[in-house]
Chain A
Amino acid sequence: MESNKHFLVGIFNDHDILISGVKKLRAEGVKIFEVYTPYPVHHLEHALGYKRSKMPVAAFFFGITGTILAILMQTLMLGVDWPMIIGGKPYIAYPDFVPVTFELTVLLASYGMGFTFFITRGLGPGAVPRMFDRRATDDKHVMAIDLSENKKSEDEIKALLESVSAEESYRKDFTDEENNPNFWKFLVDTMTNGVTSSSRQLN
């Protein structure tokens, strides 16, 4: 079976049932592709066995970059390029450089981390997500299991999903086109008939 195309989707109503379901399925040896939730569910990432987010590390290094750049900028401008006596103080008056240094540290740390987040998660204007179930941004938790990556058969996994109180479960197959969503196609499709691969009918 081709990978990344044939999925079994389980819908959960409650995040505690979801987490216990994830734990149980993984204990049974089922490989879960991803879970989509309408809000951040705490401890779900632990249940799925994800490694801790490294965003703080990105923030730290961008922040340090900001600190260094700010100190260099102020020292070179006021101390080297055009020294000026201001209020009888030294050319390079470090205590006076603290506020600007702090602000640039925060600025670079925030934006560096923010863009790291957007880029690593593939978020950007024009990105079109591949949808398993639209209710995932509304009120349901959606678990996707890639059938090609699992040794268990579809029926076995379906039975397991039912045993962990999944509200419903169904098979979802993606075409190549759906697997490679294209913004321009999305735009043209929406403009011409209002329907795209990932949306419901216009009323």
Chain B
Amino acid sequence: MQIVSQVREPLITGGKTYKDITNDVCRPVEQDPPKSWFAALTVALILLLAGGAFMGDMLWNGIGRWGLNKSVQWAWDITNFVWWVGIGHAGTLISAVLLLFRQKWRSSINRAAEAMTIFAVICAAIWPVVHMGRPWLGAYWALPLPNTFGSLWVNFNSPLLWDVFAISTYFTVSLLFWYIGLVPDFATLRDRAVTKFQRIFYGFLSLGFDGSAKTWMHYESVSLILAGLSTPLVLSVHTIVSFDFATSVIPGWHTTIFPPYFVAGAIFSGFAMVLTLMLITRVLYGLEDYITMEHIEMMNIVILVTGSVVGIAYVTEFFIAWYSGVEYEQYAFANRMGGQYWWAYWSMMTCNVISPQLFYFKAIRTNLITTFFLSIVVNIGMWFERFVIIVTSLHRDYLPSSWVYFTPTAWDIMCYVFTFGLFFTLFFMFAKFFPVINMAEVKAVLKDSDSKVYKGRRTIPNSLVPEADRVKETEIA
């Protein structure tokens, strides 16, 4: 028996039928892409190629091309790594954590968010690889291979190695989760296909899925277990990323609050990136009935909550630095706020702590323009957060003679641009060739989300319903 909420808006608006969902989601995949898509892809490819030229040059000549120096040995490379991994967290959060919490609004955004996760993790994984300087030797340092120069194994006590396992597991498991969700939708595309290419391409990708009740039963079970596995996985990934810093002895990094604070920051930036992408996709593909204001407001509330958690974490770090009585810690934090990098610190504070508080106002969190603007501001702030943690902690070494100021070079900037190009190229290809909304899941929540369809239920004569399930006339309000 279903209960219609008097307070909640329907998840899917516009009185859509099942057929409408199929048509609306499949149309952009089947039709020739609009000119705006080609324009967007061109921009992404230009970023990819221009950044790729610098990346190639950097790989050929070495990471001396970057602005790194004796004291600041990690700067934009690891900042970008943590930033991209953090963005990646939203997809798993939406698809796994919200599945466990039975938040049905997730079903219209989970596909694109998971795609974003996978592409963001690809962009993230580039950084630890290239920052090794000679990545072709990386297998000896990162994989448990016997070193050919002597039987020396990788160091399983090192958080850097845990990171290798965490990120690669996260990527592969997310890919599996995403793909299993895509299979039924590929089957829908296969059965609608009118061109030879689509028939073979989606026929191959759909793995022969036929939608039988038995397959769905196992599918549901697999999804639930994967969600249950992905939830601790996603928390472990950013926890381990934070261990890269927290287990060191550098003042400013040596902080026990890092794991929860990094995870909250990851959700914060990830939701902001989902919003940035979905607001564009929604307009271009006309998906206003699927990604409704309700969805946008929900995501803004998550941003508000996690942004506040991050803000509390910043304040706590300061308090603990003072309370610990360790002068090096105290200096590290005072230096963040008022040292040479004060501008980075205050950009971080403004973007991450102050600006999301605007979402307390309903008018702001239900406005597309302010939401879009703030979603970008949040990601700028989160980039600065990682930059502040990494660079301000390193640029004041133990010896004042090693005190330096880090300035990025063109290679720093363009290698970062390369990952943007890669991310958007992958996302635009996804948006063209894959269904951007999980049709099967949206269809599954349609009936109990839309009052119009719900009312249709009354048309079932009670005589058809088995005795036990029969709805009493009084209960149909």
Q: Which residue of B lies closest to A135 (CB)?
A: B191
> With A and B bound together, what is the CA distance between A50 and B220 in angstroms?
14
User: B157 touches which one: A86, A102, A109 (CB < 8 A)?
Assistant: A86
Residue numbers in A under 8 Å from B161 (CB-CB): 100
Residue numbers in B under 8 Å from A40 (CB-CB): 216-217, 219-220, 440, 444
Residue numbers in A under 8 Å from B208 (CB-CB): 122-124, 126-129
Does any Cβ of B come within 8 Å of A173's Cβ?
no
A15 lies within 8 A of B447 (CB) = yes
How many A-B residue pairs have C-beta atoms within 8 angstroms? Tell me: 233
Q: Number of B residues whose C-beta is below 8 Å from A?
A: 78
| Chain B 442-459 per-residue mask, 1 if CB under 8 angstroms from chain A, else 0 | 011001000000001100
Q: Number of A residues whose C-beta is below 8 Å from B?
A: 81
Does any Cβ of A come within 8 Å of B184's Cβ?
yes
Residue numbers in B under 8 Å from A117 (CB-CB): 180, 218-219, 222
| Chain A 171-203 per-residue mask, 1 if CB under 8 angstroms from chain B, else 0 | 000000000000000110011001010011011
User: B218 touches which one: A48, A99, A120 (CB < 8 A)?
Assistant: A120
User: B153 touches which one: A14, A20, A77, A118 (CB < 8 A)?
Assistant: A77
Residue numbers in B under 8 Å from A59 (CB-CB): 225, 229
Residue numbers in B under 8 Å from A65 (CB-CB): none
Q: How many Å from the CB of A141 to the closest CB on chain B? A: 9
A35 lies within 8 A of B213 (CB) = yes
B200 lies within 8 A of A34 (CB) = no
A-B contact pairs, 24 of them (CB 8 A): A20-B465, A34-B212, A36-B211, A37-B216, A39-B443, A44-B217, A45-B214, A59-B225, A77-B154, A78-B157, A82-B151, A86-B155, A99-B240, A100-B165, A103-B236, A106-B169, A106-B173, A111-B173, A123-B183, A123-B208, A124-B208, A137-B190, A187-B200, A199-B193
A residues with CB within 8 A of B: 14-17, 20-21, 23-24, 27, 34-41, 44-45, 48, 50, 53, 55-56, 59, 73-74, 77-78, 81-82, 84, 86-87, 89, 93, 96-97, 99-100, 102-104, 106-107, 109-111, 113-114, 117-118, 120-131, 134, 136-139, 164-165, 186-187, 190-191, 194, 196, 199-200, 202-203
